[in-house]
Structure 1
Amino acid sequence: MKAKFAVLGTLAAAIVTAGAGISAAHAETGRQAGPPAVPLVRYFDGLKHYVTSGAQPGPKYREEGRVPILTSNLPGTRPIYGCFAGHAPRDQFLTAAADCENSVSSSKNNTFIRREGFLYRSPGAGRRPLYRCYVPHTKSHFVSVRSDCESNPPTSKVNAEFILGYFPHAG
């Protein structure tokens, strides 16, 4: 169990490093390089993930990493929503579907939580992909900056579902 958490720490460092989208000037002066953004934070409680630009979901969740998500609907962006899956307790996921994928879900009882922010629809200069991932054995969705969803080894039954969108990345 200890090795599993060591791997998670390394993965979280990769997300934090990859997601450093707010410049040092912003940290010092309050101004941001580029469009206004807030951190989209990935949390983990040992079993379930929770990804939000809002408040920490509870005291048992610890931060694993963050990437910037836009706060306004700019040309070429789309809104991203936080939802709970109706088929699995505490399975929070992100989607671009305002109906929380109820139109395509067999259970059709996913629950809307909030609009998290906006991501670019397509790649471009200064943008990185954000993948939606799923761990079937724990029924937990999360996001990753890596196309393999940080699967270590790559055969560890973590599924990369699709690219949710592209976030602004400085550097």
Structure 2
Amino acid sequence: MIGAGAVMKLAGSYSRKEYQEQILPTMKPPNLKIDGFSGLMSWDHAYLVTLWKQNKKNFQNLPLSLQPQYEKFLLAYKMMGSSHRNICSKFGGGEVGGSVKHPTKNALLALEKIVQARWHMINPSHKSVHECMEMMNDPRELIQTGFKNYLQLLLRAFNLEL
């Protein structure tokens, strides 16, 4: 998910003109066989969401030994969601007609509902991003860039607030 977020962050660095000419066409026919681009059109994305649904109860009862990886997973999701919202907002998704999938809807509002629903699916214990970060402040992860750890570097890169 960090990779998906990074790709969206990169796409968000384009100008509106570049985005409309270079990126948006890849999400519409003739580059797609059908109208209404969605991540669920990708088999791996659809499979991932299916796995999350099937494992919702497992997320709530993870053994302590898996907590560090789970915290990283939650933060990766937050970073990806934040990047997706930012790109949607920057390129007109907050306007009616800004949705590639549903041209008569406000994509930003629809995206926010999806992001929140999936957050609750993978985070049934309602951990906050701050809690995740606190659990991950491991001194072994210190780096020499002025950030306490890799996590803080990623949070800054994705413009996430705690």
Q: Normalised by the shorter chain, which TM-score bucket?
A: under 0.3
Looking at CA atoms only, which structure, 1 or 2, has the larger radius of gyration?
Answer: 2
Larger strand percent: 1
- Structure 1 length normalisation: TM-score? 0.25
Q: Which has the higher contact order (CA 8 A, sep 6+)?
A: 2
Which has the larger helix fraction? 2
